[in-house]
Every structure is written in C-alpha cells, then in structure tokens.
Amino acid sequence: MGTKGGVFAGLSVAMVTPFKDGAIDYELFAEQIEFQIAAGTHMLCPVGTTGESPTLSHQEHDRVIAFVCETVAGRIKVMPGTGSNSTSEALRLTKFAEKVGADAALQVAPYYNKPTQQGFYEHFKCLAENTGLPQCIYNIPGRTGKNIEPETIFRLAELENIDLVKEATGSLDQASAILTNTNLTVLSGDDSLTLPLMSVGAEGVISVVGNIVPEDMSSLIQACSAGNLVEAQRWHHRLFPLCRDMLGIATNPIPVKTAMKILGRDSGELRLPMTPLAATEEVALNKTLAAYGLGQHAVV
C-alpha cells in the first residue's frame, strides 16, 4: 500500500515573500515562482515561516495564496501555509486556499497557547473534516513551544485528509515512530536532515535552501529515492554549509533573503521584528556562497 500524500513527495520549496518599500513585490514574486517551475521543483509552499507569515496582514496572506495559485496555473503543486493558533482562523484560511485552487494545506501546530495533545487532535480534526484539502501537519516545537507527540499523530493519521507531516522536531526517533505506525508521507522540515530522514522513510523536504539551489536539493532527493547512498551523501556534504548558514547565522528567513539579495534575486527586505544580518554575518554568508560557487566572489 502506498503512502497517503505520496503525490506530494520530492522537493517542495518554502518560498520567501519579496518586499519592496514595505509592500509585497508581486512582480518579483512572479519571477521567483517561474524560477522554481523552470528548476523542476515539485511543490511551492508560500506564506509559511520562511514567507514571513506572522507579519503579513490577513488580507496579504489571502492575496499571496491566490497569487501563487493563479501564477502557477496548475503547472506544479501549491501547499500554502494556512495554520494559526486559532482553529477558526486556520479553518478560514484553509477554506480560502481550497477555493482559489491550492493542492494541499500546510498546518503549523498551534503556537504560543500550547494546547494539550487532545487540543492538537481536535484542531487538526476540525480542519480535516471541514475542508477537502489534504492536510500537512507541521510539527516544529522549537517555534511553537510544544511537540505534537507521535501518539497524537497516529490518531490523526486515521482521519481522511490528514496525509502528510512536515517533520521539524530534529528527532529521528519521532520520525521513525510516525513512519512505523502510519502511512503518512513524511517530509523533512530541515534541509540538513533530509538525507537522515529519507534513510528511515521520509519522501522529500520542504526546503529553505531550495530558494537558492533547487536543482541541487532535487538531486539529493533523487539520489536518496534511487537508493544511491554514495551520491546522496555527496550532495548532502556539498549542501551542508549552505543549509547550516540558512538556519545557523540568524533566524530564518533572514539568511536566505540575504543570500537571495547577494544573488540578485530578492531585495533582501524584511519586516520587523526581522532585522538584517550584521555586516560581519553577511561577509560570512557571502564566503559560504562563494565557496559553493555562488555569490559575488564565486570560486569556479
């Protein structure tokens, strides 16, 4: 039996939201979408953490979802972030995404208010039962303050429309428990853990570094899927410094937006409380890009 949500396997990219003078730059956004389609990316994930969803207004959040769906026009899959720590708001957003043509919905665990495990279950159950979209449970306790325990995910896996998990706990044991006890499709939520997670049965990644080098992340995933461990390891070690910098220099999406600015693909503009990298941090990031073969002083 195949996995629920297997159609969403492969490389998904957690898209940035480009800004210009404080407003969303839809012209540049369209260019970024076309870049991903040309690169063979399987699915786009706008308005997640990387897309600065916490500082988008509700109107902007809706507009971005509609814009990405319209621009993609069915050429690749779209799974926007429609999560909230308010179940009613998550439901409103998810229904809107369904109406404008999204293929699935990325549902972050309710954050800050720290529900009980039963609260998590009822939240995701409500979303699954009141919309027709496949739901991806996004478990990232480092951001939300609380883990969705494997046993809760086991229960949720029994529901129709709960098809995927974005696994960002950093725990191979948790991922293994989910893969052993459910038929959900697991996608890595951390670029640097894509190879380890795929080694235990995950089927891809929702990638930040894919904003920069989508073809290379796809090559890693394809090597893993084909069982070519040596090739997969080669891509893992090549990509690792970039993956490290995207999450290690500063909070996501500050480094990836800075990298895209260096590469001439984004303004690098952020919304408070996100602030630019310090000059020394930007120098370090540019060195990593150059060593990879990217940036202003690329080593060829």
Which of these is catalytic: 146, 166, 257, 292? Answer: 166
Name residue 106's amino acid.
Answer: L
Which of the residues 138, 146, 257, 292 is marked catalytic? Answer: 138
* 138 is known as an active-site residue: yes
Residue among 217, 221, 289, 230 at smallest CA distance from 255: 289
Of residues 74, 56, 75, 73, the one with CA closest to residue 16: 56
Adjacent-strand bridge partners of 44 = 13, 78
Nearest Cα neighbor of 81 from 52, 48, 57 is: 48
Q: Which residues contact 51 (CB under 8 A, 6 or more apart)?
A: 14, 15, 16, 17, 45, 64, 81, 253
- 261 classed as catalytic: no
**Phi/psi at 122 (nearest 5 deg)?**
-65, -35
Token duo for residue 199? 């080694």
Between the two ends of the chain, the Cα-to-Cα distance in Å is 46
State the residue for tokens 């989910």. Answer: 178
Which amino acid makes up residue 292? Y
Active site residues: 138, 166
